[in-house]
Structure 1
Amino acid sequence: MFRLWGKIVKKNNITQNYVFEMMKKDMVFEELLAKGIEDLCNRFDIGNPMWLSDNEIDMKRINKTRFKSQHFIEEIDFDYFEIEYLAERV
């Protein structure tokens, strides 16, 4: 099971959050991640952020990353959108 926790944060408060879940079919991690981000953005009614090198580094190191205003084309009314990969417990 692939699980991605998305949070919208404004003034140090989580204003929205949701855990995207999907069965791991024949998709690689990057495809599941892109699908999860798209679903979370639709659920939160925000535009899809741009994936930059800092996001790649954060995901590889700590399994989470933040999208701030520079990641979005349009203006945002929150401080950041954070995603965290929730690894399966064995």
Structure 2
Amino acid sequence: MFRLSGKCVRHTKIVLSAVIGDESSEKSRTEKVLGAVTALAAEFDLPSPLWLEKNIRDFKRRARTHFTSDNFLEPLPFDYLEIEVIEE
């Protein structure tokens, strides 16, 4: 089972957190990640973040990355959104 953890952090404190799971065997890992990020954004009432080269590079290396205000078109009520794969 695929699970992705998401945390919104403001001033070093977690203000929102959630875990999204996907049991589908037909989807690729990329589809699962993008779907989970979209689901996290919806749960936190945010627009989906833009994936920049830095995010892609970090995620490929460590299966985690964080999205700052540069990744969103609207102002954020927190400092960054961190995502991490916790189970595959």
Normalising to structure 1: TM-score of the pair?
Answer: 0.93
Query: SS of the counterpart of 1:20?
Result: strand
Could you tell me how far apart the structure 1 residues matched to 2:53 and 2:29 are? 17
Normalising to structure 2: TM-score of the pair?
Answer: 0.95
Map 1:48-67 → 2, pairs under 5 A: 48-67=48-67
Q: How far apart are 1:63 and its partner, in Å?
A: 1.0
Q: Percent identity?
A: 36
Residue of structure 2 equivalent to 1:5: 5
Could you tell me how far apart the structure 2 residues matched to 1:34 and 1:64 are? 13
Query: SS of the counterpart of 1:86?
Result: strand
Cα RMSD between the aligned structures? Answer: 0.9
Q: How far apart are 1:22 and its partner, in Å?
A: 1.1
Q: How far apart are 1:25 and its partner, in Å?
A: 2.0
Map 1:1-90 → 2, pairs under 5 A: 1-88=1-88
Runs of 5+ unmatched residues, structure 2: none
Could you tell me how far apart the structure 1 residues matched to 2:24 and 2:65 are? 21
> Deviations along 1:42-66, whole A, 9 cap, x unmatched?
1011111101111111111111000
